[in-house]
Each structure stands twice: as structure tokens, then as C-alpha cells.
Chains A and B, each alone.
Chain A
Amino acid sequence: MAVLMLGIILGVIIAGIFAPVVAPHDPYKTDILNKFAGFSMSYPLGTDHLGRCILSRMIYGIRPTLFLSILTMTGTIFLGMIMGLLAGYFRGFVDEVIMRIVDVMLSFPSQIMVFAIVALLGVDIRNVILANVFIKWAWYARMIRTNVMKYRDKNYILYSKCIGNRERYILFRHLLPSISSELAVLATLDMGWAILNISTLSFLKLGVQPPTPEWGAMLNEAKNVMTTNPVQMIAPGLAIVILVAAFHFLGDALRDALDPKEAEYE
């Protein structure tokens, strides 16, 4: 199962990277006479309302979707990790301050916050990423803090402290590797969330702007002709569901794979 999911994800990533080679047509080339074409040999998934090849647009759409999600995740995890490590390890005043900020952050309805930030800073994909990182880091900070607390009283860390080793060594050589497996699981599970979010915002015309191909944006274009050409929605809709599900399954599999190894020695 995990291998299959990893295969799907890797396949999608590779297709995205080599889009110019894999895609049968130019994703921007319109052919208005050939709009809403059905499945055929030259247009495997048909064409859209401007006669553009849907398959090509799907393949090119991988780039913004996946790249932006990865960027969002990296930003979120990095910020959350630093905050969580600091709060969990140093405790006391630092912990108090960070965790109160986290509490406040987590009390905002997250989707509405994203809209608010995007509305405030203007419709631009950079702002979308910023907004996503901004609402999500607190959640990570809390998870990582909890994990750090689990390890900070382990004897090997007490030993490091006792002999006066540097904080940097303790944080980056002991603590970070100890929580890395949990972090990997979290990140994989959450990749699905990031993809959905980017697509949702593009669907609402707040993210990636047309004519750039993006799955959520394509879904939005297809929505306009939902009654006359419902088939248009299948490709982007299914693709999002499958990719998000693949990340979720992979995350679960990772957790199962990593947990027993931890338990073995505790």
C-alpha cells in the first residue's frame, strides 16, 4: 500500500518536473473551434472551454500545486519547529510567551484568517503562502513542543546538561533527530491539507490566477459549465482527491512503520 502511494506521488512529481516532455500539447494553446471535445487519441482527456488540451493542463498544473504546497509545508514546519523546540526545551518564560501566542493563533477560525490575510495583502500567490504558514505554524509548534517534552527528561539529555554540553548540540543532535520521525509523519499527513488549501484558494480565484494551469483553478473554470459539460470537472477533481488521499495513506503508513521501531527500545 505504502509503496503504491509512494509510486503515485513520485509519478506525479516526475510528470510535473518533465511536463514539457510528457504533455502532448501546449497548455496555453487555444483552439476555440475544438472546445469541449470528448476523449480522443490526440486529446486523451478532451479539451476545455477554450479548446485547450486538458491532459496537458493537468500535467503542467502539477507544478504550481505541488511546488506551492511544498513551499507552504517547508515554511510552516520550519517556523513551527523552531518555536516548538524553544518552548519545549527552555520552558519557563520563553515557553509561556510562545504558547500564549500559539493559543491565540489557534483560536482564530483558520480558513477565515486566510481569506482575511489575502484580502488585506492583495490577491497574490505569495500572500496565500504567507497566510497559510501564518495560520498553521502554531499547530506545529504545539505538536513539536509536546514531543520535545517527551524527550527532554531522558537520561541522555540530562547527561549532556550535566557535563555542560552546548544547547546547540542538545537541540540539534539529540532532540531534533528524536522527534524527526514524528515530524515526517506530520508533514506527510499535512501535505494533503496544503494541496487542498492551495487548490481551494485557486478555486475561489484567490490563489493561482488564470490562464496559469492549476488544478483548483481548472476546477473553477469547469464549474462554470457544470450543467452543460459535467465531464469537465472529472479530471481535476479526481486528481486532487487521489493525490491528497495518497499523501494521507502514506502518512499513516509512515507512522505505522516508524512507531514500532521507537517502541522496541523504550
Chain B
Amino acid sequence: MIRLNNVGVSFRKENQKKIFGKERQQILVDVSMHVKEKECLGILGESGSGKSTMGRVICGLLKPDCGKVEVEKPISIVFQDYTTSANPRFTVKQIISESLIVRERRESIRLDREKEIRKLLELVGLSEEFSLRYPHELSGGQLQRVCIARAVALQPKIILFDESISSLDAYTQVQIMDLLKEIRKKYGLTYVFITHDLSSVTYFCDRVLFLYQGQIVETCEIAELGKVKDEYAKKLLNSVVNLR
């Protein structure tokens, strides 16, 4: 489904030493990974480790400096910052319609949009009356549900979640994760789940990938978390265990 081979990404540094300097900062170093069909892969790393950059490479929003990227389309995405995820001038109906329009074009079909939107809203646990509301008239959890409905409306093969639940409160997080599990089962989707929170990964994913300073330091199945060898991954695991 997804395959990255030796991908490297660098950005121009903000604070250059010389006035017209061209210093670059390496964000991703030689990243190789793959995701199997119907798998849920967690990408775990502290903030600034390059998780979002990797996400942008996967959905084709960013061209890497080097390396090969193979991703099966269609792919959809749900962001962390739901306040800018939806156009503030669009109603919920228009927000979801955008995905439907793209799907109509892809499959060369006409959809009964009203009906689809009703079904999608029901799927994410919102009533039909939300369809005429604007984003600022919704709570964070509700808006994130709309974003999930929008992502599902595309009927993608893969959905990428970039810290999609991190800005929500703990109770809503669990609710949304349960919803995502249900959707995955229903449509047989492949998930890439980016997060900095180990507990949500263990609750949700099949396999996890540890990202540290732009490098993948360890990959392991959730069931075998105890066997990790890498120092950083161990530290991360221990810190969570100690907190409990």
C-alpha cells in the first residue's frame, strides 16, 4: 500500500549565519518503511521529530529531496488542528461535498449527495441538522468528526491521521478512536496513525514505528513492545510506564 525507500527531506534554515546563506536542515534521514493492506501503522515520536513531514511526504504534499515514494491512491487525511482543517466559509454540507465531488469525478458517477451526507453524518454520530452549520458553530470533537466524515466520503484506500485526536480531551479521544476502529472494520481501510502518545498507539494500532530526530529507530508489532532494543524507544516506553 505504502512504501518509502531511503527518503530524505531538508528545509532551508530560518536563521542563517550569513545574510544570503543557504544552510539546510535535515528533517528526515534515509527513511524506509512500508505499510501493508488493511494494517494500522502507528508513527510515534516526540514533537519536532519529523512526523508531520513524513505524513506530508506520504500524501504527496511534499516532494522529498531523494528517495522513492509509492503510495496507493486515493488517500485521505485528517489533521490535528481542526480549526483550520475546514474552510470557515463552508457549511458542513459543503465541506463533505468537496470529497464527494472528487469521488464522483474519479469514478465517473453521479451521487445523491444529500443522501450520502446524511449517511456519513450518521456514521460519525452527528445528526442531520449539523449539515447547515459553519465550523465555528461546532465543538472541537464535532468538527473533528466532520473531518473524519469528509475523509471517509472520498472512499479512500488509506487514511492518514496526523495527531488527529491529540487536541481533544481524553474522553472524546476514546470515543473517536472507537469510531475510527469501527469505520476501519466496515470499509477495510488502511490507517497511518501519527501521534506522540504511546497509549493511543497501543489501544489502536497493529504495528508501531519509532521516529527520533528524523530517523526510524525501531519498528515492532504492538504485541512485542516489550522486546524493543533501541535506547530511545526503551526510554519512551519506560517513561510512559513510570507515569502510570
Q: Which A residues lie within 8 Å of B89 (CB)? A: 177-178
Contact (A162, B75) CB under 8 Å given A169-B98, A265-B135, A265-B136: yes
A156 contacts B61, CB within 8 Å?
Answer: no
Mark out the residues of chain A between 131 and 176 whose CB falls within 8 Å of any chain B CB in the assembled complex. 154-156, 158-166, 169, 174
List the A residue with the shortest CB-CB distance to B85: A155
Bound Cα distance A205, B74 (Å): 63
A160 contacts B77, CB within 8 Å?
Answer: no
List the B residue with the shortest CB-CB distance to A177: B89
B77 contacts A159, CB within 8 Å?
Answer: yes
B79 contacts A159, CB within 8 Å?
Answer: yes
B60, B101, B154, B156: the one contacting A169 at CB < 8 Å is B101
B60, B73, B87: the one contacting A156 at CB < 8 Å is B87
Q: Name, among A163, A165, A166, the residue most crowded by chain B CB atoms within 10 Å (CB to CB).
A: A163
- Interface size in chain A (residues, C-beta < 8 A): 19
Q: Which B residues lie within 8 Å of A162 (CB)? A: 59-61, 75-77
Mark out the residues of chain B between 47 and 79 whose CB falls within 8 Å of any chain A CB in the assembled complex. 56, 59-61, 73-77, 79
Q: Which B residues lie within 8 Å of A264 (CB)? A: 136
Q: Which A residues lie within 8 Å of B83 (CB)? A: 265-266
Bound Cα distance A155, B79 (Å): 7
B61 contacts A161, CB within 8 Å?
Answer: yes
Bound Cα distance A159, B87 (Å): 10
In the complex, B86 has a CB within 8 A of chain A:
yes
Bound Cα distance A162, B76 (Å): 7
In the complex, B102 has a CB within 8 A of chain A:
yes
Number of A-B contacts (CB under 8 A): 58
A174 contacts B87, CB within 8 Å?
Answer: yes
Bound Cα distance A165, B88 (Å): 18
B85 contacts A159, CB within 8 Å?
Answer: yes
Mark out the residues of chain A between 231 and 266 whose CB falls within 8 Å of any chain B CB in the assembled complex. 264-266
A158 contacts B61, CB within 8 Å?
Answer: yes
Contact (A163, B99) CB under 8 Å given A158-B61, A265-B136: yes
Bound Cα distance A154, B135 (Å): 15
Closest chain A CB from B202 CB (angstroms)? 27
Q: Which A residues lie within 8 Å of B84 (CB)? A: 154-156, 266
A163 contacts B85, CB within 8 Å?
Answer: no
Per-position binary interface string of chain B over residues 86-125, scored 1 when its CB falls under 8 Å from any chain A CB and 0 otherwise: 1111100000001101100110000000000000000000
In the complex, B81 has a CB within 8 A of chain A:
yes
Closest chain A CB from B223 CB (angstroms)? 32
A155 contacts B136, CB within 8 Å?
Answer: no
List the A residue with the shortest CB-CB distance to B89: A177
B98 contacts A160, CB within 8 Å?
Answer: yes
Closest chain B CB from A142 CB (angstroms)? 22
Contact (A163, B61) CB under 8 Å given A155-B84, A169-B98, A265-B88: no
Per-position binary interface string of chain A over residues 55-69, scored 1 when its CB falls under 8 Å from any chain B CB and 0 otherwise: 000000000000000
A165 contacts B85, CB within 8 Å?
Answer: no
A-B contact pairs, 30 of them (CB 8 A): A154-B84, A155-B79, A155-B81, A156-B84, A156-B85, A156-B86, A158-B79, A159-B79, A159-B85, A159-B150, A162-B59, A162-B61, A162-B77, A163-B75, A163-B76, A163-B77, A163-B99, A163-B154, A164-B74, A165-B101, A165-B102, A166-B105, A169-B98, A169-B101, A174-B87, A177-B89, A264-B136, A265-B83, A265-B135, A266-B84
Interface residues of A (CB under 8 A from B): 154-156, 158-166, 169, 174, 177-178, 264-266
Q: Which 8 A-B pairs have the closest CB atoms?
A: A162-B59, A155-B85, A155-B84, A156-B87, A155-B79, A265-B88, A162-B77, A154-B84
Known: A159-B85, A169-B98. 15 other contacts (CB 8 A): A155-B79, A155-B81, A155-B84, A156-B84, A156-B86, A159-B79, A162-B75, A163-B74, A163-B75, A163-B154, A164-B74, A178-B87, A178-B89, A264-B136, A265-B135
